[in-house]
Amino acid sequence: MKHIEKHKTQHIGWLRAAVLGANDGLISTASLILGVMAAGATANTILIAGIAGLVAGAMSMAAGEYVSVSSQSDIEKADLERERQELKNQPLHEHAELSAIYIERGLDPQTASEVARQLMAHDALGAHARDELGISDISTSRPIQAALSSASSFTLGALMPLLIVLIMPLSMLMWTITLSSLICLGLLGALSAYIGGASILIAAARVSFWGALAMALTTLIGSIFGVAAA
């Protein structure tokens, strides 16, 4: 029978990158705009700073995610190659190792040995990768996919405050960006919690709190430097 039951953990990989990217894009771009505006910048300067922040942030997210996941991928490949050699040179030891894993999970020794034998007969490297190393199709590292996902989600998050800069007058910009960013952050936190099956209120409040703190500190620093420059 085909396994069709779905669980929340299936969403963790892409959800993590998407939520972090959009959250960072929204908070960093909105904070940057507020800080520059508090320093007394013109509307054109604010827009240029926001666009520069979007591009720099998206590339930083992509590069960071690519390097991080590539490192994980290199480790996985090295572990798989080491396991492949051990299976070739020490098959009995590897069978005993896999049996011990199943015994720790609750099987009796005879059943564990038989399960290990059958799985190794079908796909020895796959069985050891999954049960000994914790590497599966879901968790396998994909650097390019992770980089593109992070950059795209960062860009989507950063577009909201930039659009507000384009359509709102300078006199209303600070409060409009602040309120709209907090609303979007709350919705983003609620969405991630809903998809992951966690508490919506707690997630929304947590994301909104840190977003508000970032925008407040950046605005304060911009005001201080604006006064000093004047």
Q: Which residue has the tokens 């910009």?
A: 173
Residue 43 counted as domain residue: yes
39, amino acid identity: A
Question: Over the stretch 166-222, which tens digit does the pLDDT of each residue have?
Answer: 999 988 999 999 999 999 999 888 887 877 777 889 988 998 999 999 999 999 999
140 vs 196: CA distance, rounded Å? 20
- Of 7 and 158, more confident: 158
Residue 29 counted as domain residue: yes
Question: Over the stretch 27-73, which tens digit does the pLDDT of each residue have?
Answer: 999 999 999 999 989 999 999 999 999 999 999 988 988 888 888 77
- Environment class of 34 (CB within 10 Å of its CB; exposed 0-12, middle 13-18, buried 19+): buried
Residue 144 counted as domain residue: yes
Residue 138 has pLDDT above 50, yes or no: no
Residue 6 counted as domain residue: no
Residue 4 counted as domain residue: no
List C-alpha distances in Å: 143 to 43, 68, 72, 75, 148.
38, 8, 9, 13, 9
Residue 100 counted as domain residue: yes
- Environment class of 97 (CB within 10 Å of its CB; exposed 0-12, middle 13-18, buried 19+): middle
Mean pLDDT of the chain: 82
Residue 13 has pLDDT above 60, yes or no: no
- Of 17 and 5, more confident: 17
Residue 136 has pLDDT above 70, yes or no: no
Q: How confident is the model at residue 229 (pLDDT cuts 50, 70, 90)?
A: low
- Global pTM reads 0.71
Residue 1 counted as domain residue: no
* DSSP designation for 107: -
Quote the pLDDT of residue 38. Answer: 92
Q: Which residue has the tokens 């904070």?
A: 31
Residue 75 has pLDDT above 70, yes or no: yes
Quote the pLDDT of residue 103. Answer: 86
Instruction: Domain of residue 143: give its range.
Output: 19-229
Top mean-pLDDT range of 91-95, 96-100, 153-157, 194-198: 153-157
96 vs 138: CA distance, rounded Å? 26
Q: How confident is the model at residue 137 (pLDDT cuts 50, 70, 90)?
A: low
Residue 152's CB is within 10 A of a number of other CB atoms, namely 18
Q: In 90-134, which ranges are continuous DSSP H helix?
A: 91-104, 109-131
Quote the pLDDT of residue 8. Answer: 47
Quote the pLDDT of residue 4. Answer: 46
Residue 89 counted as domain residue: yes
Residue 43's CB is within 10 A of a number of other CB atoms, namely 14
55 vs 63: CA distance, rounded Å? 12
Q: Smallest Cα–Cα separation from 8: which of 203, 198, 196?
A: 196
Structural domains counted in the chain: 1
